[in-house]
Structure 1
């Protein structure tokens, strides 16, 4: 990532001296600590006591923060407040493309370890690539684009996913390069961190990175608008889920492979990167990792790499219209 530095502005409105944007470094630290905490510390209290405080605070939010910071990094690497143009922009795109390839490559290598942890790096690299066409935009264009993407991308993904082939694994591996269409489908729509929906985070980060982050009024505005967005989202989700029959419909359409011990605990803990497509009410839930849909089979993709010599079985490989396009039947 870039060094989070920028020439210090003149006047008394500087947020920090020396030109370094300390807030970005703090955000990166929080994202890293959140990622470590959710993978190392206990997520659920014993005896069915619900999720722990660590999981409630950091679950799903650390990875989302990483995606936002990816957009901030892309903005800083391509001119900051004033996007570069011409040869400079093309050079920035080439540099970011190389960075994306290196990140994704490391992700594929780490996926070979076969652990139960879903490696984000391959999805992260794909996210960088998706963001390249938007490098020339400024904040006034990026904010409505990010908001529109956050609303429309989940709707399109919700419609598309039932027609796509199954996701076999939590983390893509090197062998998946031999099935590029299926790999693309997983990275964009059916994976643990689906880049198509998560592009909203990156666009928001780009918009933030195009502001004068070294000014106090910008920092205060980000805290204020972020608080408003969080409170509004929680209130809207709670109101929608409180409608008669909604929670019963969610419970009825929750696949056994995603059930963590009842609807309430499942929503509190998170969806492991996916949500069912059995009811449109799933679009109203506010829960960690709720970007797309899961298929039959109890957590089979968390058990590591499935032996490719074994048949997938009828429940997993039922025909779907878009399976050919995204490489079904590898």
Structure 2
């Protein structure tokens, strides 16, 4: 099988979105088309990266059918090694630049995703939908239970917290890209990995699904919270290009209360629709019909 052009296009969109967020103007200073581009890049590119990461896991573990036996064990070992490397590298970067670094979170995503490697495409899609709905609610319910004393007790025994200030609680529940709500994107990418993206019928279905999810998600946001909801999630401008110092550890954790807006269900549906719209209609191969971001 040749390269999947739609997947390459999705990667390009994610990369240019990352550049836009890192070096582009602040959303508040833009207008017209520029404002729309800046708005679409903010948060969506990091989600697209997470979804593509799930797709890449299927390239290792088996596209249409999961690898079994020795090949399956080797695939799991490769993913586990990547996860450990990402977690270690992310921990180092978090120590140097603060807890807005997403790489360490990817390491945890990969470890959690390993339990889904043998599922079929349909089961993965159902699982991703369930996680998109239940994950944010679970995180919302758990966060109030993580009082200062609870965090301090866990942090006292957490080597990652001592090394970089980004510990287990951050990686799972309270960080900038917490695993509990964000794993839905990775599993959605894994479901895409099980789909024959070279088939025109599947391309049309994915395009329709992406458009439908976008309509439902934005429609729910408008219905439940009004027009302001579409721009209500946190701005990352003050964190871009290192213009502002990273807040003290305790303050950083308190500040994360505002990140709940990025992890609600409508947000999951809206951003999860982007890969389907991007990869769907252009997934033929050139040879043989072949995701605030950090």
Contact residue 43 and residue 54 of structure 1 kept, 8 A: no
Contact residue 38 and residue 59 of structure 1 kept, 8 A: yes
CA deviation map 1:12-36 (0-9, x unaligned): xxxxxxx211211111111111011
194, 197, 204: which one aligns with 2:181: 197
Equivalents in 1 of 2:139, 2:57: separation in Å?
25
Task: Tell whether 2:44 aligns with 1:102.
Answer: no
Counterpart in the other structure of 1:271: 234
Counterpart in the other structure of 2:52: 69
Q: CA deviation at 1:92?
A: 0.8
Equivalents in 1 of 2:10, 2:166: separation in Å?
34
195, 217, 227: which one aligns with 2:211: 227
SS in 2 for 1:211: coil
SS in 2 for 1:45: helix
TM-score (norm 1): 0.65
Q: Which structure is higher in helix share?
A: 2
Counterpart in the other structure of 1:240: 224
CA deviation map 1:122-155 (0-9, x unaligned): 1111111110000000111111111111111111
Equivalents in 1 of 2:166, 2:91: separation in Å?
15
Contact residue 161 and residue 167 of structure 2 kept, 8 A: yes
Contact residue 95 and residue 165 of structure 2 kept, 8 A: no
Contact residue 59 and residue 270 of structure 1 kept, 8 A: no
Equivalents in 2 of 1:35, 1:175: separation in Å?
30
Q: CA deviation at 1:73?
A: 0.4
| Equivalence map 1:1-330=2 (5 Å) | 7=1, 19-46=2-29, 52-114=35-97, 118-165=100-147, 176-178=160-162, 183-242=167-226, 264=228, 268=231, 270-271=233-234, 303-304=245-246, 306=248
Q: CA deviation at 1:113?
A: 3.0
Structure 2 residue runs of 5 or longer lacking an equivalent are 153-157, 237-243, 255-294
SS in 2 for 1:193: coil
Structure 1 residue runs of 5 or longer lacking an equivalent are 1-6, 8-18, 169-173, 248-263, 274-301, 317-330
Q: CA deviation at 1:225?
A: 0.6
Contact residue 14 and residue 45 of structure 2 kept, 8 A: yes
Alpha-carbon RMSD across the aligned residues, in angstroms, is 3.2
Equivalents in 1 of 2:68, 2:39: separation in Å?
42
Q: CA deviation at 1:181?
A: 11
Equivalents in 2 of 1:63, 1:47: separation in Å?
21
Q: Flag the structure with larger Rg.
A: 1
Counterpart in the other structure of 1:323: none
Q: CA deviation at 1:271?
A: 2.3
| CA 1:240–1:86: 2 relative to 1, 3 Å | same
Equivalents in 1 of 2:17, 2:164: separation in Å?
32
Equivalents in 1 of 2:24, 2:102: separation in Å?
19
Counterpart in the other structure of 1:281: none
